[in-house]
Structure 1
Amino acid sequence: MRFNRMKSLLVAAFGLIMLSLSSGVFAQENKETGKEQKKGFDANEVIFGHVKDAHEFHFLTYKGSDGEEHEAIIPLPVILYSPQKGFSVFMSSAFHHGRVADGYKLEEGKVVPTDPSAKVYDISLTRNVVQMIIALILFVWLMLAVAKKYKKGHGVASAPSGAQNAIEIVIDFITEQVAKPYLGTRYVKYMPYLLTIFFFILINTFFGMIPGSANVTGNIAFTMVLALIAFVVIMFSTNKHYWGHIINPDVPWWVKIILIPVEILGIFTKPFALMIRLFANMLAGHIIIICLISMIFIFGALNKGIGWGFAPISLAFSIFIYFIEILVAFIQAFIFTNLTAVFIGQAMEGSHDFHNEEHIDPVMV
């Protein structure tokens, strides 16, 4: 009963937000004077501006002593190719305040040519790309540092310490709880891949929790590439027993008419589920936090007293969700790795050298 009341209060709160959005929070045309009013806080722009890719790292906007708004940003290189003009390379700061740079302009986060007939291919280093490169460098440096300690004998003749200790715990967990139960005697072959996707997802998720950074794991392109890699690994792990079960299942012929298309569709739905699961969970957490912060400014646009009064509540919920996101980062990295191992194990099952004495039924979290 109390849970139902809580849901009703949440529905009422979001209803009030939608009402405030439609009651003049944004810039409107003043019918009496015919003048355009000052543009207020745009929640849609803030929310989707954070989760989408961009050509810069944007941290905050502030009003300077001159009364003008200034932005704290890190511009990124813009690399464009046009068959008509060739390559164009410049910093994204050239687009500030709606300026045109070398015949190109920025519209809703996308670079478009001022000439409508011209074609352009954007191969820029966006914040998603830059952040993935930084995460990859950190990942490689961390692993090499741990490996160097093992080469010197630390953690072999003595107990591991520092980052070595933390990494070893994770590796043991993935080995014992993910690789061995689902991959049997072949688990060693897949350990580098499983550990790479686990740590790569985890590090990118942690980077995405830094204010002003990119939400890489909440980007559908990122999760799609991981899913495609998983699909390739699964396909290369198949055997004749796997394809025999799909093409010629041991069921009556009239059931095969329905079952075979379903089994073939299942080949593609598995990586698709990996892609959507990670994308949706990572995107949802960021949107919730931004929505809670945005409520301060939405209510503040209606009345400053309401905005200041609601600020502690909004910040408290935001901090709570933020710590939940730290837990979710580990959970989603584990789930993606675990399900990938499950799908690879299903592709190998039935072969003579597949042995698994302690098989655990997969749990779809």
Structure 2
Amino acid sequence: MATKSIKSLLAAAFSLFLLLSTTVVLAQEPAHETAGEHKEEKLEPAKIIMDHIKDAHEFHFFTVGHFHATVPLPVILYSPTKGLAVFSSSQFGHEGELAYNGYKMNEAKDIVAEDGSAVYDFSLTKNVVQMFIALLVLVLLMAGIAKKYKKGIGVTSAPKGWQNAVEPVITFVRDEVAKPNLGKKWLKYMPYLLTVFFFILINNLFGLIPGSANVTGNTAFTAVLGVLSLVVILLSTNSHFWAHIFWPPGVPFFVKIILMPIELLGVLLIKPASLIIRLFANMVAGHIIILSFISLIFIFGAMTKVAGWGFSPISILFTVFIYFIELMVAFIQAFIFTNLTAVFIGQAFEGGHDDVDGHADAVII
């Protein structure tokens, strides 16, 4: 029953995604009449795609004619000259074309002061709001499951509800990520690994809902996760680890001089960068591909209507295929980030062979 509900939900979400994406493309005003002249506006697929994947001060769901179904978000600004200002983002208009209270949006949709003075923006953008929603879902989901375990459900009896879905995932992270890479210390790091895995997974899945934000496709989000993982890695290091970084054994003196900065750079920059860029790039790529296939319908339609209608089935077929691939990518990227974090933590205290029992080399995907 649960499987049927999930399938129905995914089908409905995807259908809505196609509808909204199509509506956004059609919402471009086709013509402007000035001085008796009829001028058609050119379709800009790149602009449409970027508008979908970048952050904004509102949630935009669909457009019908001149009506925009949006949820404006609060703008919170502080200026040394004007003080604190709090107002709705709707004051700037749908396209950010209006000025309000001495503030306006520039071409990059950043809020700036009209007089050019300094502005500190603490606004709740859609990425921030959706991240808080994902955090709330994570806390409520795990707290509800924890209460069931306290009552004995899933311990003395079979698990029920979301326990059936979450328990195998927790077991998978424990057996395939934590234990192989962290050995005897796996239990110490399980709370962090599980939190990272589920937080990324929930945000990945939310990003596939039409009108939502692609939070994991934002470098600020992935950078914070990468820095947090770096802190955990550094706190897990020991003297043996740093001895190998600053004075690698068994190599000539001049080679050691060359290796020292490289090894240090690898720990402080390359490892967190690999976590940050991999998650960001994969989550953005899927959205771009889906929107590109949808845009092809209108690109061909701009040539001739026959070409547009003729290419529609092919475009929709590929869009459906990539959409379901993205569902798998949502799980895979959460796993890869968590697995690589465990690998790097394991490497941090590797060397004390009695600390890591059965530590295995991990394959980096």
Report TM bin, short chain.
Answer: 0.7 to 0.9
Dislocated runs of 4+, deviation >6 Å: 25-30
Post-superposition Cα deviations, 1:161-187, rounded to whole Å, max 9, x if no partner, equal: 221121110111111111011111111
Matched residue SS, 2:40: coil
Post-superposition Cα deviations, 1:217-252, rounded to whole Å, max 9, x if no partner, equal: 111111100000000000000000100111111112
Q: TM-score, normalised by structure 2?
A: 0.87
C-alpha distance in structure 1 between counterparts of 2:157 and 2:252, whole Å = 61
User: For residues 128 and 303 of structure 1, do their structure 2 counterparts lie closer, same or farther at Cα, with a shift above 3 Å needed?
Assistant: same
Post-superposition Cα deviations, 1:228-287, rounded to whole Å, max 9, x if no partner, equal: 000000000000010011111111212212221221111120011100110111110110
1:66 corresponds in structure 2 to: none
Using the TM superposition, give the Cα deviation of residue 355 of structure 1 relative to its aligned residue in structure 2, in angstroms: 2.7
2:318 corresponds in structure 1 to: 317
The one-letter code of the counterpart of 2:213 is: A
Post-superposition Cα deviations, 1:276-322, rounded to whole Å, max 9, x if no partner, equal: 11011111011000111111122222222221221111111111000
Please list, as runs of the form range in 1=range in 2, the aligned pairs for 1:56-95 lying within 5 A after superposition.
Answer: 56-63=58-65, 69-95=66-92
1:363 corresponds in structure 2 to: 363
1:289 corresponds in structure 2 to: 290
The one-letter code of the counterpart of 2:48 is: V
Pick which of 170-179 and 248-257 moved more.
Answer: 248-257
Amino-acid identity (%) = 60
Matched residue SS, 2:302: helix
The one-letter code of the counterpart of 1:59 is: F
C-alpha distance in structure 1 between counterparts of 2:282 and 2:353, whole Å = 38
Name structure 2 gaps, 5 residues minimum. Answer: 1-27
1:12 corresponds in structure 2 to: none
2:224 corresponds in structure 1 to: 225
The one-letter code of the counterpart of 2:50 is: F
> Contact 2:102/2:115 (CA < 8 Å) preserved in 1?
yes
Match of residue 40, structure 1, among 38, 42, 51: 42
Kindly report the root-mean-square deviation, in angstroms, between the aligned alpha carbons of the 2 structures.
2.0
Please list, as runs of the form range in 1=range in 2, the aligned pairs for 1:118-197 lying within 5 A after superposition.
Answer: 118-197=117-196
Using the TM superposition, give the Cα deviation of residue 53 of structure 1 relative to its aligned residue in structure 2, in angstroms: 0.5
Q: Does 1:52 align with 2:51?
A: no
Matched residue SS, 2:39: coil
C-alpha distance in structure 2 between counterparts of 1:352 and 1:315, whole Å = 54
C-alpha distance in structure 2 between counterparts of 1:263 and 1:28, whole Å = 59
Pick which of 107-116 and 271-280 moved more.
Answer: 107-116
> Contact 1:242/1:349 (CA < 8 Å) preserved in 2?
yes
The one-letter code of the counterpart of 1:257 is: I
Q: Does 1:308 align with 2:309?
A: yes
Using the TM superposition, give the Cα deviation of residue 353 of structure 1 relative to its aligned residue in structure 2, in angstroms: 4.8
Name structure 1 gaps, 5 residues minimum. Answer: 1-24, 64-68
